[in-house]
Amino acid sequence: MKITALGICPPPSAGENPAVTPELLASTFARYSRSNRGIDTILQSIDWNNPDASVDAIFRFVDYGHASIAGMTGGIPVIIDGCSMFLAYKLFEIAQLCDGQESSTRYIKLDSSNLPDAQEIGIPGSLAGEWRSIMDFSFECYNELYSALDDAARENPDIIRYPAGANEKVIARLRKNYALDRARYFIPFATKTNAAFIMTARVWADTLKQLASLPLSEAQQAAEAIRNELSKFVPRLMRHSHPDAASLTQARLSIDSVLKSISAGGLPVHRCNDETFVAVDNSRPDFLPDTAPFSDAFAGKENRYSITGSTIRRSMVRVAWNNIALAELRDLNRHRSGYRFSPLAPAGFYLPEGISHPKTGELLERNRAFVNKLLQTDAAPAYVYALHLGTQVPFEHSTHLDKFIYEIELRTGMGAHFRYAEHLNAVHRQLCEKLPGIEPYITVGDAEPE
């Protein structure tokens, strides 16, 4: 795993503008909030030959409010090459306010060379060989299924919804997408990926505090490495990034709950059927009613990026699915708005309708036996590295209605993965039942082309 933090430099067109470090930016803004002298006067007070001294002088007075100060550092980009898919997922889950991207299984074909060493992720030595054998077997199934689907698409192009007039290059890309989208459920959650994150020092500090609290060696090592890298940019604010009693206790309670669930029911090996939940809260205080009907909130809407009116933006929605596969959760977990939650408690194993591999049952039974053994060791929290992208888990997203309408339109729109479209169509139907009259204002796509 390689951690790299990137520094942002001004473009040539901004060469005459003042340039500051992240902590100097935060401390300058802190002083700005306590003065009416204007930014030029504050910048003139900085010793540009020793800017750290100016930062220290300000932080002596403002560090008691470090959370708000740390939020003014601007986004600090950090790149993580070679972390597990689980770790990338967990960072996005913890950092609900971050922006970022992760390597896509829709475009990158993987194999067992992308697996980490068992020791890196805390698999006990006594079980390392068995874990590796199962993960290698997973990739055998993945690659065999990919080849079979690719062959099927070549023999019968009609199974792929090619756009009219598509050239050979587009057809080849869509055929690859078709096969990768359906084979990816055999990919181990432990597989190495690359991920990029941008957060303020405030969000980074809280993220690292929670990451380091997890009883997983990869998470703790990553937190330390990221902290060391960020200390080059925000050394004073990184002292707030260490675990405390609350973060350690909550992390332990969360993982213990899941381990009890798996111990009681085992690792499910059958597909969990779809079930959804939608709740809408559009209650209003008597002294602050809506100023217009919700139909007016969509006036002028051209696409999913259009601004909606306050009647929609004030409403809250909470949706949940009982069986999101980790393959889809990796993306749905990256929607920035609201709060996203999954205990990562396995509920089943997903393969698309009409897609199968003759060794699926053997793989899942072997994996279930392995997890049962792992739960008997001190390394039980490492069960996450025995999951696959086809593992289904419950997932909940709470957000404002306008943000969720955007999510529906995005995840059913052109080029969306077919399973996203199924999940979002299901909650869209429930949402329309909860809010009669809203259906005409939500553009639901058919996810074409594939």
What is the rounded distance in angstroms from the CA atom of residue 415 to the CA atom of residue 302? 19
Locate the domains of the chain by residue range.
2-80+192-243, 260-350+390-441
Q: Which residue ranges of the chain lie beneath pLDDT 50?
A: 62, 64
Q: List residues bridging with 391 in a β-sheet.
A: 349
Which residues lie below 8 Å from residue 353, measured CB to CB, with a gap of 6+?
none
How would you write 358-421 as a 3-class SS string? Answer: CCHHHHHHHHHHHHHHHCCCCCHHHHHHHCECCEEEEEEEEEEHHHHHHHHHHHHCCCCCHHHH
Helix (H) or strand (E) run with residue 277 in it: strand 276-281
Positive or negative CA dihedral for 183, 188, 194, 199? positive
**pTM value > 0.85:** yes
Which residues lie below 8 Å from residue 83, measured CB to CB, with a gap of 6+?
1, 192, 193, 194, 195, 218, 222
pLDDT at 66: 57
Per the rule left: phi > 0, alpha: psi between -120 and 50, beta: everything else, 104 is beta
Contact 444, 408 (CB under 8 A): yes
If we measure between CA atoms, which residue out of 177, 138, 190, 191 comes closest to residue 419?
Answer: 177
pLDDT at 30: 77
pLDDT at 112: 96
pLDDT at 59: 67
Contact 51, 262 (CB under 8 A): no
pLDDT at 23: 85
Residue 272 has what DSSP assignment?
Answer: P
Return the CATH number of 260-350+390-441, one of 3.30.1360.170, 3.40.50.720, 3.30.360.10, 3.40.640.10: 3.30.1360.170
Contact 48, 179 (CB under 8 A): no
pLDDT at 83: 97
pLDDT at 62: 46
Contact 288, 258 (CB under 8 A): no
What is the rounded distance in angstroms from the CA atom of residue 25 to the CA atom of residue 59? 12
